[in-house]
Amino acid sequence: MTPDTVLISFRDVSRRFSTPRRGEVDALCHVSLDCRAGRITGIVGPSGSGKTTLLRLAAGLDQPTAGEIVYPQWGPSVAPPPWAVVTQEGNLLPWRNIRRNITLPMRLRNVPRREANRRAETLLRQMHLPNDVALSYPHELSGGMRRRAAVATALACRPQLLMLDEPFSGVDEATRRRLGQQVLDLRMQYGQSILLVTHDIEEALLLGDEVVILTAAPGIERVDIELPHPRDPLAKAFERRLIELRHRLTSR
């Protein structure tokens, strides 16, 4: 797959919800967007701008009320889905230990148990998780470890596109930076395509090859970020882009 191959294409997509108190609410309004292979696409916007709705639509967990979502590489109803999602809740089943969580996608694809366990160990190492985590249950881990285990579970199905919904929320600054670096490693070392939803514009700028700004206003704004990796948040060029993005976000 070449780096510019379109994986998911949103064509004038809208999603409207009926709520008991506020009536009809537009969560997403006339969004057109291409998500390309081998890139980190950062989706930023304030709370309630429809970021999670966009991700759920991309993952096929929800259907648009208008417009269409096309997967040029995969066709309309590909199974199993070639993407994986790490949700805000951390997509781990609480009754399975971490190893059994990571091996689940492989078991569903009939990978033999021994091979699945071996790959789970590799994934734990890749996400810098100690070996003894394998037998722990999600509730026994810290927030940061749970996120990494969730990413390892998502990677276990070798997805062509990894969708991350606020993967770093609720963890401390140091863990946040480490997780960010690991996401970047996935993109740099393995060419992993990533769709990253975040409310933190600095995070999107630090990691994204392109940033999509989403607000309550119809449509989106797409900005290419050409800054080389690794990016220094204290560098002048970075600060300039950050101010520019903040300005674009608030002026929409």
143 within 8 A of 175, measured Cβ to Cβ: yes
CA 100 to CA 106: how far, in whole Å? 10
CA 77 from centroid of its chain's CA atoms: 21
CB of 106 to another protein, least distance (A): 9
Please, which residue, 55 or 212, has the CB nearer to another protein?
Answer: 55
CB of 113 to another protein, least distance (A): 15
CA 124 to CA 135: how far, in whole Å? 12
CB of 120 to another protein, least distance (A): 14
Helices and strands of the chain, counted as H and E runs: 7, 9
Please, which residue, 139 or 236, has the CB nearer to another protein?
Answer: 139
Closest CA to 85 of 145, 181, 164: 164
CB of 91 to another protein, least distance (A): 5
Please, which residue, 25 or 93, has the CB nearer to another protein?
Answer: 93
User: What b/e string do you get for 83-105 counting C-beta neighbours within 10 Å, with b at 16 or more?
Assistant: bbbbbeebbbeeeebbbbbbbbb
CB of 78 to another protein, least distance (A): 10
168 within 8 A of 203, measured Cβ to Cβ: yes
Please, which residue, 108 or 188, has the CB nearer to another protein?
Answer: 108
Please, which residue, 79 or 234, has the CB nearer to another protein?
Answer: 79
Interacting residue ranges for another protein, rule: CB under 8 A: 59, 61, 79-81, 84-85, 87, 89, 91, 93-96, 104-105, 108-109, 137-139, 157
